[in-house]
């Protein structure tokens, strides 16, 4: 077992470094040449590894992108965990989680459109809703669960269990806006987050009211039905 450094952080293994190099090489090539024109051979050459070595870690470009998704989700989770320390207000915790995502992905904005074009195909394994993306998706939803559970908000039981997934879906809308955002420093996306998070959380609070409860129950039932149909297609 590899020993931790004096800082308490275990350094990456040679295999992890190689995986990271291949992912970084792929991202730079996607930006320069486009996704379709970037071959595994070109990616391997850019990463300084053999083609066989590249295929050892990633059997295809799609699997390589999944590797990026997984790495990105883990890095966002780590950044958010630090930024969320001591924050108990649910609105602010949601903002912090989304800002952490923006900061973690700041360097990937220029070629986000490449991912969007491919991921928007429902049949693509790179879709955020695909079975191949389940690991990164579940990790992101788990992050939202920590946001909710670490808050001091009185969240109605009718929506508490489904709220993390609803917040992840809201995040997908933010990501789509971010892809098209050309404002300096992603100012428009940050404004969208700051203005919409409080509105969303007020809706969560209203879900406890008798006049809203039936609508909430219908929404929760719909989510459960959709999830079941995705897992058990006809």
CATH number of residue 21's parent domain: 1.10.10.60
Asked if pLDDT for residue 232 goes beyond 50, the answer is: no
For the purposes of burial, counting CB atoms within 10 Å of the CB of 182, is it exposed (0-12), middle (13-18) or buried (19 or more)? exposed
Same domain, 151 and 210: yes
The domain containing residue 75 runs over which residues? 68-231
Judged against a pLDDT cut of 50, whether residue 231 lies above it is answered with no
- Cα angle, residue 30 at apex, residues 28 and 35 outer, rounded to 5°: 165
Give tens-digit pLDDT for 112-148: 777 777 777 777 778 888 888 888 899 999 999 999 9
Measure the CA–CA gap between 24 and 111, rounded to whole angstroms: 12
Q: Is the pLDDT of residue 7 over 50?
A: no
Closest CA relative to residue 66, chosen from 141, 138, 160: 138
Question: How many other CB atoms are found less than 10 A from the CB of residue 38?
Answer: 22
For residues 194 and 84, state if they share a domain.
Answer: yes
Instruction: Return the half-sphere exposure (C-beta side, CA atoms, 13 A cut-off) of residue 137.
Output: 14
Backbone angles phi, psi at 143, to 5 degrees: -65, -40
* Total H helices, total E strands in the chain: 11, 0
Q: How far apart are CA 105 and CA 186, in angstroms?
A: 11
The answer to the question of residue 37 being in a domain is yes
> For residue 38, is it within any domain?
yes
Is pLDDT of 184 > 90? yes
Place of tokens 């490449």: 114
My answer on whether 74 and 55 are in the same domain is no
* Claim to verify: residue 32 and residue 118 sit in the same structural domain: no
- Tell me the residue ranges of DSSP E strands in the chain: none
Paired tokens of 193:
């987050």
User: In this predicted model, what pLDDT tens digit does every residue of 60-82 receive, in sequence order?
Assistant: 888 888 888 888 899 999 999 99
Task: Tally the domains of the chain.
Answer: 2
Asked if pLDDT for residue 43 goes beyond 90, the answer is yes
Q: Is 217 left (phi over 0), alpha (psi -120 to 50) or beta?
A: alpha
Give the mean pLDDT of the chain: 84
* More confidently predicted of 127 and 226: 127
| Same domain membership, residue 205 and residue 112 | yes
């Amino acid at each position: 077992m590899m020993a931790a450094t004096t800082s308490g952080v275990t350094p990456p293994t040679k295999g992890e470094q190689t995986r990271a190099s291949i992912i970084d090489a792929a991202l730079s090539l996607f930006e320069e040449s486009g996704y379709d024109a970037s071959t595994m051979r070109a990616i391997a050459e850019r990463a300084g590894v053999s083609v066989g070595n590249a295929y050892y870690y990633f059997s295809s470009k799609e699997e390589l992108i999944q590797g990026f998704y997984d790495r990105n989700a883990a890095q966002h989770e780590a950044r958010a965990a630090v930024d969320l320390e001591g924050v108990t207000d649910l609105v602010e915790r949601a903002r912090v989680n989304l800002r952490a995502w923006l900061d973690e992905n700041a360097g990937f904005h220029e070629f986000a459109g490449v991912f969007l074009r491919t991921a928007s195909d429902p049949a693509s394994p790179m879709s955020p809703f695909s079975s191949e993306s389940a690991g990164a998706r579940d990790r992101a939803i788990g992050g939202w669960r920590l946001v909710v559970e670490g808050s001091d908000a009185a969240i109605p039981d009718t929506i508490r269990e489904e709220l993390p997934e609803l917040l992840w879906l809201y995040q997908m809308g933010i990501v789509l806006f971010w892809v098209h955002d050309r404002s300096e420093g992603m100012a428009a996306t940050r404004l969208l987050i700051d203005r919409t998070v409080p509105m969303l959380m007020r809706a969560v609070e209203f879900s406890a009211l008798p006049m809203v409860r039936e609508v909430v129950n219908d929404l929760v039932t719909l989510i459960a039905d959709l999830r079941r149909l995705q897992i058990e297609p006809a």
